[in-house]
Amino acid sequence: MNTIPPRFGYQAAQSQALFDEGLRQHMLRVYNYMGLGLVVTGIVAFIVGNTPALYVPIFQSPLKWVVMLAPLAFVFFFSFRIQTMSASTAQMTFWAFCAVMGLSLASVFLVFTGASIARTFFIAATMFGATSLYGYVTKRDLSKFGSFLIMGLIGVVIASVVNIFLGSSALQFAISVIGIVVFVGLTAWDTQNIKEQYAENFDQEAQQKIAVFGALSLYLNFVNIFQLLLNFTGEREG
């Protein structure tokens, strides 16, 4: 026998439907921010990478180190200041970061062919989409993998810095393989975190900032997957 009064059952179903719709809108907002961010990055990278008057002063001078390290500075700034930022400031900072990342990624157009860049982008998008979808729909708690993924990320960063001085192709191969695994895992983990944060009932301003920061996390995962895949699928300019 059903012991739940019909009106309470209806209210529970209606409340769940409203929550599901709100979550769907929140995730769409996150993916829209991320997608637009990639568009901004791609446009800036393409223009700079195909304009000698722009890329020569940047990549043939010490300025290249500023351009390469600037995105990292933005990430640290974002991470430490997100709590005190307004939602509009967080958005503007995100767009600025995407543009700066475009400057940094312009170098790929100087090294790899356009066809291989497009092919790698498609492969990266497929991998990202599949793992992000898994992170969204799975009932499995991925938080227990978080510490291992973070340790893996730290290891990849340290090894990458060391290899700047060593220039070892074998180490670069290992970094690329491990890095792809780490960032694919982080994509699923971050997606689940973004989904769960929505359930914490933040106000509208906080939800907006969470959406921007979530977009930043997924954006970074995608860009890193793309860059690491280029080491395998990218064809260098003759």
Question: Rounded mean pLDDT of 115-130?
Answer: 93
At 80 the pLDDT is 81
Burial 66-103 (b: 16+ CB within 10 A, else e): ebeebbeebeeebeeebeebebeebbebbeebbbbbbb
In a domain, 162, yes or no: yes
Higher local confidence (pLDDT), 103 or 62: 103
CA separation for the pair 231, 216 (Å, rounded): 23
pLDDT classification of 222: cutoffs 50, 70, 90 = very high
pLDDT classification of 46: cutoffs 50, 70, 90 = very high
At 238 the pLDDT is 61
Residue 58, domain extent:
10-233
User: 97-116 pLDDT, tens per residue?
Assistant: 999 999 999 989 888 988 89
In a domain, 4, yes or no: no
Q: Are 186 and 214 in contact (CB under 8 A)?
A: no
Both tokens of 167, joined, read: 């220039």
The H or E element containing residue 145 is none
In a domain, 37, yes or no: yes
Question: Rounded mean pLDDT of 9-33?
Answer: 77
Counting Cα atoms < 13 Å in the Cβ hemisphere of 38 gives 19
126 burial class (0-12, 13-18, 19+ CB within 10 angstroms)? exposed
Q: Are 166 and 189 in contact (CB under 8 A)?
A: no
Give the total number of structural domains in the chain: 1
In a domain, 3, yes or no: no
In a domain, 175, yes or no: yes
Question: C-alpha 149: how far from its chain's center?
Answer: 15
In a domain, 17, yes or no: yes
CA separation for the pair 67, 84 (Å, rounded): 26
Higher local confidence (pLDDT), 74 or 184: 184
What is the reported pTM?
Answer: 0.88
| pLDDT for 10 beyond 70 | no
At 1 the pLDDT is 47
At 82 the pLDDT is 78
| pLDDT for 95 beyond 60 | yes
CA separation for the pair 91, 70 (Å, rounded): 18
